[in-house]
Chain A
Amino acid sequence: MAVQVRVPTILRNYTGGAKSVEGSGETLAALLSDLDAHYPGLKGRLVTGDAGDQLHRFVNIYVNDEDVRFLGGLDAKIADGDSVTVLPAVAGGSAAVAGG
């Protein structure tokens, strides 16, 4: 089962500069583990929590045109031929300044 995964510029140091890599897995969690076997360290930039079981808030991951946060997060189902896109979340704001 092959899935194309598009990788943003900031994570391409893990993929030898490749914009797109191929992986496999029936869920997003399985796909990320498969990718990490070929591109060590990549998964650690995408998940967080003691068990590595939560999506990092600094990234958005999409299956086809859907944000995986609406598809069950790391449990999102992946099918052969799907395309997965990783983008850095663009966010911020003045709150941290106001709070010191």
Chain B
Amino acid sequence: MVRVLRIDRATRDEIIAHARRDHPDEACGVVAGPAGSDRPERFIPMENAERSPTFYRFDSLEQLKIWRAMDDADEEPVVIYHSHTATEAYPSRTDVSYAAEPGAHYVLVSTRDPDRDEFRSYRIVEGQIAEEPVEIV
């Protein structure tokens, strides 16, 4: 089954803007949506606790707060995004080793080229990477 990430233009643009703003550090965040809907609706930029050009990690206390709020609203992280700032928008081995949400779309943005946006989406399940088409709606 080929899965597709359907995301609205405004949310896509917000993810790219966040990545550009935090460049040369990696940026990260989630887009929440109703559980089971596969619709990314609520853009939530997060702190990169590592503040690094080669690593990212959600701040653990911010993550707890946001995950609880999603749970209370019957939402889930539909998109989990982060940026690579000097390499292509493709999951690294580190990204794969941490990927713990088989239902999520893992979005990678690269900011290596200031004039060209790279925005790609993947499923990462049990260590396997599968790129999926992105449909802007």
Contacts and interface: CB of A to CB of B under 8 A. Distances in A.
Contacts of A93: 26, 50, 52, 54-56, 82, 84, 92, 94-95
A96 B94 contact: yes
Given A62-B64, A85-B64, A87-B64, A92 B91 contact: yes
A25 interface: no
A10 interface: yes
A42 to B, nearest CB: 15
Interface string A57-82: 01010100101010000000000000
Question: Would you call the interface of chain A mostly helix, strand, loop, or mixed?
Answer: mixed
A89 B103 CA distance: 16
A14 to B, nearest CB: 14
B93 A88 contact: no
B28 interface: yes
Interface residues of A, number: 22
B52 A90 contact: no
A51 interface: no
Interface of B: 26, 28, 30, 50, 52-58, 60-61, 63-64, 67-68, 80, 82, 84-87, 90-103
